[in-house]
Each structure stands twice: as structure tokens, then as C-alpha cells.
Amino acid sequence: MGKIRSLFRRRASSKPSSPTTASASAAAATASPTSPRSPTATATATAAAAAAEEELERVFRKFDSNGDGRISRSELAAIFESLGHPATEEELERMMSEADADGDGFISLAEFAELNASAAGDAAAVEEDLRHAFSVFDLDRNGSISADELARVLRGLGEAASVAQCRRMIDGVDRDGDGLVSFEEFKVMMANGSSSAAAAIAGLAKIG
């Protein structure tokens, strides 16, 4: 599938040395440089950054199937295979070369964090990321995501997600009550992103 293989196509303009730096940069980008911050606001921002870092690490571990702290070429291939969209050798070579900043043949957590850092204020790129992720879940290409489709893709990512659980997840964003997730509702689901299932979706939206 061509769209999800845009993975690693965009590179963030900044180069954080760790996922903590990436999370802190994202939090700083949303704060006004001239507005004083109360202790409560500071604590909230710190907690949000920590939660974002934890989610990122959790998604990284889904790619890092052997738990050695880095993503290999074979592990990258396995993720695409599990989603039903196997990548060619040429595509894997290109993705690895673009992602592997230090040239060691693997994608570290820091490199993964960089790939997940959207360019500040690049709303168009974020929208494109979300559309790519949406297309992965919309298996029948009818413009909406069913509970069955959501469960199938999440299980492919190693999530223990039942159809019933996915229905409840959909209920939280289903504005028109049709039992399906439209693209606009998918964006709301992404923004809510507090469940483990949403974390996996977030990973796809960033790499898609």
C-alpha cells in the first residue's frame, strides 16, 4: 500500500537527541512564550509530556518485537506484513535509510521519536498523516471504519482488542450514531487518544 509506505518520508526539521526532548519540544510549541504559567499549568504540561513519551515508547515496543531497544529491518517488515500490506525490499531499504540517522542499521527510540515529531504548525502534514492512518483501518475502502475493521487492524498490531471493545471506543466519537467512524470522527478519536487502542492508532497516524 503506497500511502502507509510514506513512513519516514517526512523528516522533522529539528533533531532531538531523545524522546524526552521530542516531547518537550512539542509541549513548548503549543505554549505561548509571553504568557505566564501557573504551577498548575506547568504540572499539567509536564504530565502531558510524560504521558506522550510513555505512549510513544509503548508504540515503539510494538515494532521492537524482540525487545532489544531498536527496530530492525525484519521487524519493520513484519509490522507491514501484519497489517496486510507487505513492503517490498526496495521500500524497506528506502525506509531504513531515511530513518536510520546514525547508520547502524537499526531505528533507535530516539530516531523513532524524531520520525514521530511533526513539524511545528504543519497542519497540512498532520492532516495527511491522519488520512493515511484512516486508510489503513478502512479495509473495505467505503470511507468509514467499522468496529470489526478497527478490531482486525488492532489485533494485527498486537492489541488485545475485541469487537465489543471497539464498539465502545466508537460510541465515544460516533456523532451521527451510525455505528461507524468517519474521517472527522477519527480525528476526534485521535485527539482523545487515552486508551491503549488509541495509542496504537496514534502510532499509525504518525508513521503513515
pLDDT at 162: 92
Q: Which residues contact residue 106 at a Cβ distance below 8 angstroms, ignoring those fewer than 6 apart? A: 70, 71, 72, 100
Closest to 173 (Cα-Cα) out of 194, 188, 158: 188
105 and 18 in a common domain: yes
193 and 143 in a common domain: yes
CA separation (Å) from 206 to 17, 29, 35, 65, 179? Answer: 19, 17, 29, 19, 25
Is 30 inside any structural domain? no
pLDDT at 10: 37
56 and 145 in a common domain: no
143 and 73 in a common domain: no
The CATH number assigned to the domain holding 106 equals: 1.10.238.10
Q: What is the mean pLDDT of residues 93-111?
A: 89
Number of domains in the chain: 2
129 and 108 in a common domain: no
How many residues in the chain?
Answer: 208
- Tell me the per-residue pLDDT of 105-161, one tens digit each, with 9 for 90 and over: 999 999 888 876 644 456 777 787 788 888 888 999 999 999 999 998 888 877 778
Question: pTM surpassing 0.75?
Answer: no
Q: State the Cα–Cα distance between residues 187 and 192, nearest whole angstrom.
A: 9
Strand 107-108 versus strand 70-71 pairing type? antiparallel
Residue bearing the bigger pLDDT, 98 or 199:
98
Is 131 inside any structural domain? yes
Residue bearing the bigger pLDDT, 4 or 195:
195
Range of 92's domain? 4-25+38-116
Residue bearing the bigger pLDDT, 138 or 15:
138
Contact between 173 and 182 under an 8 Å Cβ cutoff? The reply is no
Tell me, what DSSP letter sits at residue 122?
-
Q: What is the mean pLDDT of residues 173-202?
A: 79
Question: Is pLDDT of 68 > 90?
Answer: yes
The residue written with cell numbers 510514506 in the block is 6
Is 31 inside any structural domain? no
pLDDT classification of 13: cutoffs 50, 70, 90: very low
Tell me, what DSSP letter sits at residue 188?
H
**Residue 142 grid coordinates:** 467505503
- Tell me the per-residue pLDDT of 77-89, one tens digit each, with 9 for 90 and over: 888 787 777 888 9
Residues 34-71 as b/e (b if ≥16 CB within 10 A, e otherwise) read eeeeeeeeeeebeeebeebbebbeebbebbbeeeeebb
**Residue 65 grid coordinates:** 518485537
Percentage of residues of the chain with pLDDT beyond 90? 25
Q: Which 3 state secondary structure label does DSSP give 181?
A: strand
CA trace torsion 82, 56, 21, 120 (10° rounding)? 80
The lowest-confidence range among 5-14, 67-76, 118-127, 153-162 is 5-14
The lowest-confidence range among 40-44, 64-68, 182-186 is 40-44
- Tell me the per-residue pLDDT of 39-60, one tens digit each, with 9 for 90 and over: 777 877 787 677 767 877 887 8
Question: Is pLDDT of 15 > 80?
Answer: no
Contact between 106 and 100 under an 8 Å Cβ cutoff? The reply is yes
pLDDT at 21: 41
pLDDT classification of 25: cutoffs 50, 70, 90: very low
104 and 132 in a common domain: no
127 and 84 in a common domain: no
Q: What sections of 108-195 are H helices per DSSP?
A: 109-116, 123-137, 147-156, 163-171, 183-192
